[in-house]
Amino acid sequence: MSAGQDHETVVPENSSPTGGDTAEEHTPEATVPLLEPREGVPEVVTTAAGVAEAAALLAAGHGPLAVDAERASGYRYSARAYLVQLRRDGAGTVLLDPIPTAADLAPLAAVINDLEWVLHSADQDLPGLAELGLHPAALYDTELAGRLAGFPRVGLAALVADTLGFELEKGHGAADWSTRPLPDTWLNYAALDVEILVELRNAMAEELERQHKTDWAAQEFEHIRLAGSPAPKPDRWRRTSKIHTIKDPRRLAIVRELWTTRDEIAANRDIAPGRILPDSAIIAAAEAQPATLSDLRALPVFGGPRQRRSSRVWLAAIERARSLPQSELPPMTPPLIGPPPVGRWARHHPEAAARLTAARAELGALSEEVSVPVENLVSPELVRRLCWDWDVSAGADVEAYIEDRLAAGGARPWQRALTAPRLAKALTPAS
């Protein structure tokens, strides 16, 4: 489906799975363990010649392309892919190491970028694949399909079990996929992740069609395909664990400087920040404000052999924060972007709090009716902003106002068609 294509939104007469039954009631009585790929585990592609062969193999297949990527979250700083799994009917499975082949992927991109890709939780893998020049022409996200279809469990293993009756191997999803060579058991696990992904796509497509939600899913998939990488959040250093224990701006500046120094080192070395220096050590240093190397090394973590080698780097960061003029110290609370935390609404803006309560109740009822989680019906942040910024003059068309606000906030046509009338009902003042 091309970007910008008009959508006709159809509201299902009965949107719960199987016409009133829940998806959970259709879980197979017993699952069959899926222990290894049907054609075995292929050799990992590590050369330009191997990429060309893989491209030719996939070009000879047919239908959509099952895609997965393994990262090294918790081990590496970047979100780059360290293994890419591809499978297409008539071609079999390809396991690609993108580290040695990153400059040689043009033949592969020429084949697969024109295909529909099937991924599970596509927003997790698309940015890393885009770094490799790999972009889908169309997208099917089985995790999101499960949400829209009302399944109570939407993890890959759960959906495969509930719809296809197979039990997927578990255990390596959180592994360090930057490890080389990759163990055979990990490769077996990786190949199984795409083994029946197309079959799952087809099962979810049938379920969504039966629930009259095919168009809803198409709009969501296209939105994800075109979304790109999310913008970095401001003041990420404020997410340091236990930062709430810091009670003055000078110590908060030390947290910021240590966090920033750690982040730069982690990015340069492509190592997860917590493996450079744990949050607990940053907080401890901010509380103690050590003035000498001896003082610093007396603190937990900093006295270890690895941190002792970096002691001067950490002390220099603390000194920079200590020497800041008062005017450059960070505020104890970050500047507000958008509405304040909901817990403050009742005291500072009771009318907005009442609107949000009414809106949430109406959306909760709608969620039950159509068997779609509230957060997938419309962005909760968008609803909060609507209720906080409410500015409707007497006699105005409330539903049209809501429709415009939702559209400006990126809500898709199917979401607006469902939620704007219900939000208008909840938010229209009683006459």
Q: Where are the domains of the chain?
A: 23-227, 236-328, 342-427
Give yes or no for a contact between 113 and 136, defined as CB atoms under 8 angstroms apart. Answer: yes
Do the first three CATH levels of 23-227 and 236-328 match, i.e. the same topology? no
Q: Quick one: pLDDT band at residue 8, thresholds 50, 70, 90?
A: very low
Cα 341 → chain centroid: 23
CATH of the domain spanning 342-427, picked from 3.40.50.2300, 3.40.50.720, 1.10.150.80, 1.10.599.10: 1.10.150.80
pLDDT score recorded for residue 394: 77
pLDDT score recorded for residue 13: 41
pLDDT score recorded for residue 6: 38
Q: Quick one: pLDDT band at residue 17, thresholds 50, 70, 90?
A: very low
236-328 CATH: 1.10.150.80
The mean-pLDDT minimum among 126-140, 301-315, 410-424 falls in: 301-315
Cα 175 → chain centroid: 18
pLDDT (tens digit per residue) in 242-267: 999 999 999 999 999 999 999 999 99
Is the pLDDT score of 29 beyond 80? no
pLDDT score recorded for residue 372: 98
Helix, strand, coil percentages in the chain from 3-state DSSP, rounded to 5 = 55, 10, 35
Residue 10, sorted as left (phi over 0), alpha (psi -120 to 50) or beta, turns out to be beta
pLDDT score recorded for residue 101: 98
pLDDT score recorded for residue 9: 41
pLDDT score recorded for residue 2: 36
- Which amino acid would we find at residue 62? H
Give yes or no for a contact between 97 and 76, defined as CB atoms under 8 angstroms apart. Answer: no
Which residue from 233, 164, 171 is spatially nearest to 195, judged by alpha carbons? 164
- The better pLDDT of the pair 174, 11 is held by 174
Cα 86 → chain centroid: 21
d(CA 191, CA 8) in angstroms, rounded, equals 38
Q: Rounded mean pLDDT of 424-429?
A: 91
Q: Which CATH superfamily is domain 23-227 in?
A: Ribonuclease H-like superfamily/Ribonuclease H (3.30.420.10)
Q: Give the 3-state secondary structure of residue 400.
A: helix
Q: Put the strands of the sheet holding 138-141 in their side by side order.
A: 44-45, 92-96, 83-89, 62-70, 116-119, 138-141
d(CA 427, CA 421) in angstroms, rounded, equals 10
Q: Quick one: pLDDT band at residue 20, thresholds 50, 70, 90?
A: very low
HSE at residue 3, side-chain half, CA atoms within 13 A, is 7
pLDDT (tens digit per residue) in 190-211: 999 999 999 999 999 999 999 9
